[in-house]
């Protein structure tokens, strides 16, 4: 990680979309080494579109996008086939393929890297289990291990906490903290406002960039602009009235874009 520059990616006035029509505009933010940015927004608000632009799959329609280092992505686990005949180690090893020309197979060093990544995410003893037999949280961590084998300084995580129980979510969050501490930059898409307050920066999207900054930008006004009017205030002795939770339908996941 030591070779990576201080700023791992930067967007300035970025607009992206499909077929020349922008679905997300005015995005300006930067990701530094060791930073975790929470990306909040409703389904269809542009989170996935932004990720696709950051991965180089969509060209900017306007603005500038500076991508000096390699990125890896941790997709939603629902996208992978559970009946596919692969072990956790097979999936982690897929991360090595990106660094090899097409005629080369992953070798012994790649296998060792895949084992080390599985150990790092706490799944050393499940390496030979079928991917489909693992729990949702374990599958998510296998996909994180795959991104680690890719060894990119930037990791994009597409709603990694979806469907996880509290214990699994806590474990994944600790893992992400550790990756950031090692100097990686993380973009974490999600719906959990309370969790986003614990990240270093938050990026709020709803067809445009609503806000970017430290967790204190998550005011009630910003959240209402991000999620439309669908914000339910809770009057809570600990958090006060400004702290809000979202209605449960935001935790249903049709994939946006």
Partner 1 sequence: MTHAVVHWLTDPWAEPLNRRALLEVALLGLSGGALGCWLLFFELAYSAESLAHALLPGLVGAALLGLPLLLGGAAGLLVAAIAVALAGRAPVIGRDTAVAIVVTTLFGLGVLLALSPATPPGLQSLLFGDVLGVSNGDLALAGGLVVVLAGALWVLHHRLLVVGFDRTSAAQLGVRPLAVDVALLVLLAAALLVAVQGLGNLLVVAVLIAPASAARLVARRMLPMMLASAAIAVLAGIAGLYLSYHARTAAGASVAGALVLAYLVAGLAGGAAGRLARA
CB of 44 to partner 1, least distance (A): 17
CB of 129 or CB of 224, closer to partner 1? 129
Are 142 and 88 in contact, with CB atoms under 8 Å apart?
A: yes
Q: Given the rule CB under 8 A, which of 59-67, 96-104, 179-187, 211-219 is the region that contacts partner 1?
A: 96-104
Vertex 30, ends 45 and 193: CA angle to 5°? 45
Residue 219 binds to partner 1 (criterion: CB under 8 A): no
Residue 32 binds to partner 1 (criterion: CB under 8 A): no
CB of 103 to partner 1, least distance (A): 6
CB of 163 to partner 1, least distance (A): 17
Residue 85 binds to partner 1 (criterion: CB under 8 A): yes
CB of 224 to partner 1, least distance (A): 32
Residue 114 binds to partner 1 (criterion: CB under 8 A): no
Q: Which of 6, 59, 105, 109 binds partner 1 (CB under 8 A)?
A: 105
Are 16 and 53 in contact, with CB atoms under 8 Å apart?
A: yes
Residue 160 binds to partner 1 (criterion: CB under 8 A): no
Q: Which residues, 6 or more positions from 133, have their beta carbon under 8 angstroms from its beta carbon?
A: none
Write the CA distances from 107 to 36, 93, 115, 126, 215, integer angstroms: 32, 10, 13, 21, 43
Residue 98 binds to partner 1 (criterion: CB under 8 A): yes
What mask of x and - would describe binding to partner 1 in positions 53 to 82, judged by CB under 8 A? --x-x-------------xxx-x---xxx-
Residue 7 binds to partner 1 (criterion: CB under 8 A): no
Q: Which residues, 6 or more positions from 2, have their beta carbon under 8 angstroms from its beta carbon?
A: 183
Residue 49 binds to partner 1 (criterion: CB under 8 A): no
Residue 127 binds to partner 1 (criterion: CB under 8 A): no
Sheet hosting strand 36-40, strand order edge to edge? 71-74, 154-157, 185-190, 36-40, 201-205, 209-213
Q: Tokens representing 131?
A: 């991917």
CA distance 40 to 38: 6
CA distance 92 to 114: 5
DSSP calls for 121-136: TT-GGGTTSBGGGS-H
CB of 132 to partner 1, least distance (A): 9
Contacting positions for partner 1 (CB under 8 A): 55, 57, 71-73, 75, 79-81, 84-87, 90-91, 93-100, 102-103, 105-106, 130-131, 146, 150
């Amino acid at each position: 990680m030591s070779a990576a520059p201080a700023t791992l990616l930067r967007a300035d006035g970025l607009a992206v979309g499909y077929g020349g029509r922008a679905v997300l505009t005015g995005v300006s933010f930067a990701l530094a080494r060791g930073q975790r940015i929470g990306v909040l927004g409703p389904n269809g608000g542009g989170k996935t579109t932004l990720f696709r632009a950051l991965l180089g799959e969509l060209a900017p329609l306007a603005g500038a996008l500076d991508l000096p280092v390699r990125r890896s992505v941790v997709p939603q686990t629902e996208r992978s086939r559970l009946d596919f005949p692969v072990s956790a180690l097979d999936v982690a090893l897929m991360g090595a393929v990106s660094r090899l020309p097409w005629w080369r197979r992953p070798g012994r060093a790649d296998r060792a890297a895949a084992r080390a990544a599985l150990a790092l995410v706490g799944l050393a003893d499940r390496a030979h289990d079928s991917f489909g037999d693992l729990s949702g949280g374990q599958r998510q961590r296998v996909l994180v291990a795959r991104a680690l084998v890719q060894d990119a300084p930037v990791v994009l995580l597409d709603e990694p906490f979806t469907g996880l129980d509290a214990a699994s979510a806590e474990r994944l969050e600790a893992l992400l903290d550790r990756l950031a501490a090692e100097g990686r930059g993380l973009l974490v898409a999600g719906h959990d406002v309370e969790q986003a307050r614990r990240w270093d920066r938050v990026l709020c999207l709803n067809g445009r960039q609503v806000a970017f900054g430290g967790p204190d930008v998550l005011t009630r006004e910003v959240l209402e602009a991000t999620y439309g009017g669908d914000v339910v205030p809770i009057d809570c002795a600990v958090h006060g009235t400004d702290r809000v939770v979202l209605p449960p339908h935001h935790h249903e996941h049709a994939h946006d874009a």
